[in-house]
Amino acid sequence: MSFIEQIIELSQMQVNQISPKAIKLAQYSLLDWLICGFGGTNEPLANKLRIFAKNEAGAEVASIFGGFKAPARMAALVNGATSHALDYDDTHFGHIGHLSVAIYPAALAVGEECRKSAKEVVEAFVIGAEVAIRIGINLGSGHYNHGYHQTATSGAFGATVAAGRLYGLTKQQMRNAIGLCSTRASGLKSQFGTMGKPYNAGISAINGVECAQLAALDFISSNDGLMGPHGFCATHGFDLKSKLPALPNPSQMFLFEDNKYKLHACCHGLHAMIEALKSNDLTGLTLDEIGSVLIFTHSKWLLVCDKKEPQSGLETKFSYAWLAGMTLRADDTGNDKNYTDGLTRDPQLVQFSNKVRVVASHELTDMQVKVTVTLKNGKEIHVAHDLSIPVPLEILREKLQKKAFSVIGDKGKQLWNSLEEIEDLSAMDIGQIIVS
């Protein structure tokens, strides 16, 4: 079966064939996405996008964070960007991108429009996410390194399939939707550090809704937009091998099960170190007792999150030295409001940062870290962490609950209570939570 046919089969998969663990994780992703959306609601870019939506107006069928109802396309755009504003959303390292912010806005908007249940929205999301992951892996790291932002590019195919599933597209219509997405998907990494980065998540979501809506009207596109001549992969996939990587059949395994959640409001590259430093072996130490910290990490992170002298609260989120100090003195690294500009001048952290050394290790993956903490009394403590080891669902649940309270306070508690009963909810109920 060709790759496009595999994707079309996956898009039509029966609910009882979807991995239950993937569905459970997709529910956590929905909660995590809502936390991020509420957290981003008052960011400047979210306000601008709500004005943009209000000016355009239109059929009030889908809910916008902190706002009102709008057409599905517009809600997808605004919610995608809003929920990525804090950059606190989930990541899939195989796909090299953020799944929830690119796909949930499309799935929820179409779910509301089509009066679907919350459960159907979650199922459409997890199918879309699985599609995005598989396309992302095909495109490979060359695509990302060349300058494309997978969140926006392979994400758009995921959003298309999720939206298309909720619109009830036939196989042929799904093929057209994917063809249209191949000519519509876009998104560059050069936007990082600007409002353009969260915009990319919104672009993915609106492209998905638009392509699915047009396909539902039998708009015709190319037969294989993904792998055909001059298709998306041929034009955008820079290390595309003649043979695609062998991936397990979705009926055996959902790659979505490897999805990772940010539990600290900083760069995902720092998360393995933070988890390592939270080891019991280091509990109770004061920063003064520590002589040096030697961190071994994957070389890619040295270019991303090793800021030696951060100049702003935002830059501390990309600093091994700062996060090491914060973690060891038990700051709440899960609360994004703790990363203030003043933190760059915190005397304890400034002094401690001189004790931290970061070294690239070829033995480690981008999800692993090893740390040697040497105390002033000469004792060496070795800790390590590997983000790729799955966290049991019950523990993940607890951690995400804690994150919800950190980021949006009581609203987070309410959110968990509402969504623990997801079987009883409609997409419109979730929409109601979003606008309220």
Question: Where do contacts with a copy of itself occur on this chain (CB under 8 A)?
Answer: 45, 48-49, 51-52, 55-59, 71-73, 146-149, 152, 179-180, 182-191, 193-196, 199-200, 203, 213-214, 217-222, 225, 228-232, 234-235
Task: Give the integer Cα–Cα distance in Å for 219 and 420.
Answer: 39
Q: Which is nearer to a copy of itself, 56 or 289 (CB)?
A: 56
Q: Shortest gap between Cβ of 397 and a copy of itself (angstroms)?
A: 35
Q: Which is nearer to a copy of itself, 4 or 272 (CB)?
A: 4
What does the block give as tokens for 85? 């504003």
**Helix then strand then coil, % of the chain, to nearest 5:** 55, 10, 35
Asked if 107 contacts 128 with a C-beta cutoff of 8 angstroms, the reply is: yes
Task: Give the integer Cα–Cα distance in Å for 409 and 26.
Answer: 22
Q: Shortest gap between Cβ of 109 and a copy of itself (angstroms)?
A: 12
Q: Which is nearer to a copy of itself, 107 or 152 (CB)?
A: 152
Q: Shortest gap between Cβ of 303 and a copy of itself (angstroms)?
A: 13
Q: Which is nearer to a copy of itself, 45 or 273 (CB)?
A: 45
Q: Shortest gap between Cβ of 103 and a copy of itself (angstroms)?
A: 18
What does the block give as tokens for 53? 């939506």
Asked if 338 contacts 325 with a C-beta cutoff of 8 angstroms, the reply is: no
Q: Which is nearer to a copy of itself, 6 or 191 (CB)?
A: 191
User: What number of helices (H) and strands (E) belong to the chain?
Assistant: 18, 6
Q: Shortest gap between Cβ of 8 and a copy of itself (angstroms)?
A: 17
Q: Which is nearer to a copy of itself, 234 or 393 (CB)?
A: 234
Q: Shortest gap between Cβ of 55 and a copy of itself (angstroms)?
A: 7
Q: Which is nearer to a copy of itself, 72 or 290 (CB)?
A: 72
Asked if 85 contacts 38 with a C-beta cutoff of 8 angstroms, the reply is: no
Asked if 357 contacts 321 with a C-beta cutoff of 8 angstroms, the reply is: no
Q: Which is nearer to a copy of itself, 79 or 222 (CB)?
A: 222
Q: Shortest gap between Cβ of 178 and a copy of itself (angstroms)?
A: 11
Q: Which is nearer to a copy of itself, 203 or 358 (CB)?
A: 203
Q: Which is nearer to a copy of itself, 230 or 243 (CB)?
A: 230
Task: Give the integer Cα–Cα distance in Å for 125 and 29.
Answer: 10
Task: Give the integer Cα–Cα distance in Å for 368 and 324.
Answer: 15
Task: End-to-end CA distance of the chain: give it in Å, rounded.
Answer: 46
What does the block give as tokens for 187? 């998104």
From edge to edge, which strands make up the β-sheet containing 380-386?
A: 356-360, 290-297, 368-375, 380-386
422, amino acid identity = I
Task: Give the integer Cα–Cα distance in Å for 118 and 85.
Answer: 24
Q: Shortest gap between Cβ of 335 and a copy of itself (angstroms)?
A: 25
Q: Shortest gap between Cβ of 220 and a copy of itself (angstroms)?
A: 5
Please name the residue that has the structure tokens 């929830």: 100
Q: Shortest gap between Cβ of 416 and a copy of itself (angstroms)?
A: 33
Asked if 358 contacts 307 with a C-beta cutoff of 8 angstroms, the reply is: no
Residues in the chain: 436
Please name the residue that has the structure tokens 């003064």: 288
Task: Give the integer Cα–Cα distance in Å for 262 and 101.
Answer: 13
Task: Report the run of H or E that residue 291 belongs to, with start and end.
Answer: strand 290-297
By CB neighbour count within 10 A (0-12 exposed, 13-18 middle, 19+ buried), where does 262 fall?
buried
